[in-house]
Amino acid sequence: MTVLLFGASLLGFLAIGTPIAYALIISGIALMWQMGLFDGQIIAQNMINAANSFPMLAIPLFILAGEVMNAGGLSKRIIKLAQTLVGHRKGGLGYVVIFAGVLLSSLSGSALADAASLTALLLPMMISAGYRQGTSAGLVASASIIGPIIPPSIGFIVFGVATNLSISKLFLAGIVPGIIIALALCIAWSIVAYRDDLEVSARASWSERGKALVDGFWALMLPVIILVGLRFGIMTPTEAAAVAAVYSVFVSCVVYRELSLSHLSDLAFNAAKTSAAVMFLVAAAAIPAWMISIADIPDQIISLIEPVMDHPKLLVAVVVLLILLIGTAMDLTPTILLLAPILVPVVTNAGVDPIYFGVIFMITGAVGLITPPVGTVLNVVCSVGKLDFTALTRGVTPFLIAELLVLALIVMIPEIVQVPATWLSGK
């Protein structure tokens, strides 16, 4: 009943054209009313506290860095470099996106931050290079959900803490599936780009490549600074985002001299407004998430999957469908917090390796970030990339299918996860 009411009110208000953030708040209010907890404080508290988050602060800072890089000539030089290196291939920038997604995900633990920075940094390049907007943004969205799968991963930490599993084992187990997803995206992209018949540039000479590399040196240092800073524990992701912002301002204004201070205030305003729209959605989603915690919806669902307890692979498949279903409407962290503590004992009882299950859970939950109606990564890509939700949903579909195929493969052949995970943990 509660699930129906939540789904119906959310979908109903979305259908008549209500902004997604408001539809989320309204569906939360519908739940409040049904459960006899009608109180504005629940709305105000959950929204404001969701935004009052230091880790989330990485979003506006990375958006700012991206805006400054674009206007200040850094992105231009990276485009140039990428074009000289892989531009002669069909759909070269697409592979750059996937590669950057893997790199970023080894820097940050959150798909949202990855989505924000990938969109801000690479989407404008793709569009200016003539790629279709929806498909490009779809690739960006599907590449950014590698974020919580390749370590570090806030998702795995939450999962490990909530289920008392070794976080380092989860981290190590995530590396290979993350790379497999990237490869699957490459294949999907090659098919999409093949159909697209986009004009390719002539192969660049080595001296042109050398010149582009020298020219792009300052721009290329930025990911190096972030990578080294995070890998060696010099900075937290939020701090790395602030350093990225300051560095990109420095290079744009002082080194390349392509940006004036007055222009900078325009960029800051844009970045602030864009991240406000993103965070308003995050804040809005916190209300139904809180109500769903109270309503014990996960418990009701668990009782439904008892019959398949004797067949581990079937059980995992059923659970994956369940997480996918919930993931269509919920964010990754609440999905983990609500379902993981209940599901892990269930699947462990049935003989499934909990670390392997953790990886499956994370991939499934991450896929939920790019499924409508509520796909937080889709929302971020829409707001940051300033494009239409429907176009993005269409554009993401081929890559979503590729990721679901990887998921199905891993469900059928657990060794894909388990063998390298055991090997990487050294025993």
* Residues between 185 and 224 with contacts to other proteins, criterion CB under 8 A: none
For residues 59 and 93, which CB has a smaller minimum distance to other proteins in the complex? 59
Helices (H), 145-166: 154-163
54, interface contact from Na ion, other proteins, none, CB < 5-8 Å by kind: other proteins
Write the DSSP string, 289-308.
Answer: HHHHHHHTHHHHHHGGGGGG
Q: What's the sign of the alpha-carbon dihedral 384, 375, 294, 315?
A: negative
Interacting stretch for Na ion, rule CB under 5 A, among 151-159, 231-239, 272-280, 398-406? Answer: 151-159
Stretch that binds other proteins, among 175-183, 270-278, 351-359, 405-413 (CB under 8 A): 270-278
- Of the candidate residues 364, 371, 379, 393, the single one contacting Na ion (CB under 5 A): 371
Instruction: Choose the stretch contacting other proteins; rule: CB under 8 A; options: 140-148, 276-284, 321-329, 353-361.
Output: 276-284
Running DSSP on this structure, what letter comes out for residue 427? Answer: -
Q: Is 61 in the site for other proteins (CB under 8 A)?
A: yes
Which CB sits closer to other proteins, 25 or 97?
25
Structure tokens at 119: 């969109």
CA–CA separation, 280 and 286 (whole Å): 10
Q: How far is 419 from 404, CA to CA, in rounded Å?
A: 21
Tell me which residues in 325-344 interact with Na ion (CB under 5 A): 328
Nearest approach, Cβ of residue 269 and other proteins (Å): 5
- Tell me the backbone φ, ψ of residue 52, rounded to 5 degrees: -85, 65
Which of the choices other proteins, Na ion, none does residue 42 contact, using the CB cut-off of 5 to 8 A by kind? other proteins
- The nearest distance, CB 204 to other proteins, in angstroms, is 36
Q: Is residue 142 near Na ion by the rule CB under 5 A?
A: no
Tell me the site size for other proteins, rule CB under 8 A: 85
Using a 10 angstrom Cβ sphere, with 0-12 exposed, 13-18 middle and 19 or more buried, the burial of residue 373 is middle
The answer to the question of residue 75 lying near Na ion (CB under 5 A) is no
For residue 285, count other CB atoms closer than 10 A to its CB. Answer: 26
Measured distance CA(223)–CA(186) in Å, rounded: 22
Instruction: Provide the residue type at 4 as one letter.
Output: L
Could you tell me the maximum CA-CA distance found in the chain, to the nearest angstrom?
Answer: 71
Six-digit token string for 209? 């490549």
CB of 316 to other proteins, least distance (A): 23
- Using CB under 8 A as the binding rule, the residues of this chain from 103 to 132 that contact other proteins are 109
46: contact with other proteins by CB under 8 A? yes
| Minimum distance from residue 175 beta carbon to Na ion (Å) | 10
Q: How far apart are CA 387 and CA 51, in angstroms?
A: 23
Q: For residue 393, state whether it binds Na ion (rule: CB under 5 A).
A: no
- In angstroms, give the least distance from the CB of 227 to other proteins: 12
- DSSP class per residue in 46-86: HHHHHH--TGGGHHHHHHHHHHHHHHHTHHHHHHHHHHHHH
Q: Which two tokens stand for residue 317?
A: 């498949």
Told to check if 238 binds Na ion by CB under 5 A, we report no
> Would you say 25 and 284 are in contact if contact means Cβ atoms under 8 Å apart?
yes
Binding test (CB under 5 A) with Na ion, winner from 368, 385, 395, 414: 368
Among 92, 101, 124, 375, binds Na ion (CB under 5 A): 375
User: Using CB under 5 A as the criterion, what x/- string covers residues 16-35 for binding Na ion?
Assistant: --------------------
Q: What is the binding site for Na ion (CB under 5 A)? A: 105, 147, 150, 153, 328, 368, 371, 374-375
